[in-house]
Amino acid sequence: MANQYPQPEVYTTTHPFTASGTALGSTDSQTIYTNIAHNEQVLIYGVMVNFYEDAANGNGVGGVITLTSGANEDARFALSITAGANTVPTNAFDAQFIHRKTDKMFTFACPVLVNHRDVLQVTLERTSSTAVSKNMYAKVTLIAEIQKKE
Amino acid sequence: MANQNPQPDIYEVNLSFTNESSTGTKVSSQVYTFQSSFEEVRVYAVMVNIVNSEDDDISASVSDFQLTIEAGANKVPSNAFDIGAIATSREKTLAFPSPVVVGFQEPLTITGEWMGTSNTPDAITVVKITLIAETAMIEGGF
């Protein structure tokens, strides 16, 4: 239940991927608990994606992966958002280009709606057959707000 | 108390993480809004810069921090969120879809937390948080 209407919400999920265990099609899903009341809904306006290193090489632990030369394939993942029983947007979309953008943000044409008791999940799926070059983790941040239902 | 209505306000806090802060280390800072009983502060956006002791940008190598904003007794947004993506973006600013509202006598607290799986590598890492806000009279009286 929100403390104000509308209330800004920023949800971050963390998706770890290991260098040895991330084959094409590997997925990692994380569930977000919105804690909304029955008369509220969550509206998701945009998504940010950032890939971090979890290894000593490159920029080091907690540093951002740099997509050059051999590491170019490291961020090839597709992102999907599940709101309730449905995937919204309908199809998975490329997460790499969001990480590459200078603002690291992708805004939707209209908000994703999440209702009371709808399960909100974020899934990343590997879309390259090349192994990732190092242990890493992706952070997906949903830019949202809680609003009373109209 | 504001000099105009609404009045733009920029609040800056520096969260210093000392040498080899371990995972989960938190640093908090209080923001004093100096608003009166009939005013409220609306925080529209947050800007993040991660620098070393010489004020150089080190966000490429040290950026896995998360941020919590507490307005009064509550966290708004209700969860801590990743600020590494903000710090490494070109604008370094995240605009909220709706403002965080801070009422009179509500403490405004900013907390940064290191989330990397090992200690922070730099001797001193300073997370500079800038809240882009305005002070305005509460609508509908007070």
ipTM, 2 decimals?
0.86
Instruction: Determine the pLDDT at residue A74.
Output: 87
CA distance B129 to B75: 16
Mean pLDDT over the full length of chain A: 92
Nearest residue of chain A to residue B77 (CA atoms): A9
Kindly state whether residue A1 falls inside one of the protein's structural domains. no
Kindly state whether residue A87 falls inside one of the protein's structural domains. yes
**In the predicted model, is pLDDT for residue B111 greater than 50?**
yes
Q: Are A16 and A25 in contact (CB under 8 A)?
A: no
Long-range contacts formed by A64-69: CB under 8 A, 24+ apart: A64/B59, A64/B60, A64/B61, A64/B63, A64/B84, A64/B88, A65/A134, A65/A136, A66/B60, A67/A96, A67/A99, A67/A100
CB pair distance less than 8 Å for A66 and B60 = yes
CB pair distance less than 8 Å for A143 and B97 = yes
Residues of A in contact with B86 (CB under 8 A): 48, 104
B7: contact with A, CB 8 A cutoff:
no
B37: contact with A, CB 8 A cutoff:
no
Instruction: Determine the pLDDT at residue A130.
Output: 87
Phi, psi of B88, deg, nearest 5: -90, -5
Kindly state whether residue A60 falls inside one of the protein's structural domains. yes
CB pair distance less than 8 Å for B82 and A141 = yes
CA distance B30 to B13: 8
Q: Which residue has the tokens 């306006």?
A: A45
Domain count for chain A = 1
Name, in order, each residue with C-beta under 8 angstroms of B132's C-beta and a sequence gap of 6 or more: B10, B43, B44, B45, B46, B47, B93
The domain of A117 spans: 7-148
Instruction: Determine the pLDDT at residue B20.
Output: 80
The CATH number assigned to the domain holding A55 equals: 2.60.120
Kindly state whether residue A54 falls inside one of the protein's structural domains. yes
Q: B15 versus A59: which is more confidently predicted?
A: B15
CB pair distance less than 8 Å for A143 and B84 = no
Kindly state whether residue A111 falls inside one of the protein's structural domains. yes
Nearest residue of chain B to residue A60 (CA atoms): B61
Instruction: Determine the pLDDT at residue A69.
Output: 65
Average pLDDT over residues A95-121: 95
Structure tokens at A26: 């590997």
B98: contact with A, CB 8 A cutoff:
yes
CB pair distance less than 8 Å for B60 and A54 = no
pTM attached to this predicted model: 0.91
Helix (H) or strand (E) holding A47: strand A40-53
> What domains are there in chain B, each with its CATH number?
7-136 (2.60.120)
Residues of A in contact with B90 (CB under 8 A): 102-103
Instruction: Determine the pLDDT at residue B142.
Output: 47
Nearest-CA neighbor of A73 among A129, A150, A11, A118?
Answer: A129
Chain-centre distance of CA B16, in angstroms?
Answer: 13
Instruction: Determine the pLDDT at residue A116.
Output: 95
Average pLDDT over residues B72-101: 95
Instruction: Determine the pLDDT at residue A71.
Output: 65
Instruction: Determine the pLDDT at residue A125.
Output: 96
CA distance B135 to B4: 9
Query: A50 to chain B, minimum CA–CA distance in Å?
Result: 5
